[in-house]
Amino acid sequence: MTIRTILKMGDPRLLRVARPVSAFDTPELHQLLADLLDTMQAANGAGLAAPQIGEDSAMVVFGSDAPNPRYPDAPIVPRTVLINPVITPIGDEEQLDWEGCLSVPGLRGMVPRWQSVHYSGYGVRGERIERTVSGFHARVVQHECDHLLGRLYPMRMRDFGQFGFTEVLFPDMGAGAEE
């Protein structure tokens, strides 16, 4: 079990476009996956992208099989490993909702995302993944895949009046308990 250090906003490695994975089912890729899952779990993250642990690979993990303590009211998103993802919006409807990020600790902001998307990519053994999703699942996958484009959620925000410290915005969640 390896819990890696999560890079924080300001680190230039979070701003790179991630390199596509070219070899599947390798020991290195399985190790990276294990590190991502261990690190995400230890941080109670809803998702984690390889660039957040300093790895220049187009790979994200998200979801869990139980409710997330950082997002206790959010619907369950199945645990997913997604490599070389492609996201296509369905329609032009957006939704606004609060997001946080393990690379932007202690803060939340209101972020517009596509309401519904189709996403495709590969699992760790190179198996094809195709899904059409909406709502929170769509938000999570858009947030994580943005990390592969070097984009953090504040870069997607339009109203900085809706950006602040989690403990101030959501005092009932308990300061420090969520990140």
Residues in contact with Ni ion by the rule CB under 5 A: 101
Which is nearer to Ni ion, 90 or 149 (by Cβ)? 149
- Compute the least distance from the CB of residue 152 to Ni ion, in Å: 7
Catalytic residue check, 130: no
* Position with the least CB separation from Ni ion: 101
Q: What DSSP assignment string belongs to 63-97?
A: --SS-BTTBTTSPP---EEEEEEEEEE-SS-EEEE
Whole-angstrom Cα distance, residue 76 to residue 63? Answer: 7
The stretches of 93-155 forming alpha helices (DSSP H) are 135-147
Amino acid at 128: R
Catalytic residue among 55, 94, 99, 144: 144
Which is nearer to Ni ion, 101 or 138 (by Cβ)? 101
Which is nearer to Ni ion, 24 or 74 (by Cβ)? 74
Nearest to 170 by CA among 74, 75, 98, 77: 98
Which is nearer to Ni ion, 109 or 127 (by Cβ)? 109
- Compute the least distance from the CB of residue 6 to Ni ion, in Å: 9
- Compute the least distance from the CB of residue 63 to Ni ion, in Å: 14
Token pair for 1: 């079990």
- Compute the least distance from the CB of residue 79 to Ni ion, in Å: 17
Q: Which residues in 89-113 are b (16+ Cβ under 10 Å) and which e?
A: eeeeeeeeebbbbbbbeebbbbbeb
- List residues with catalytic annotation: 144
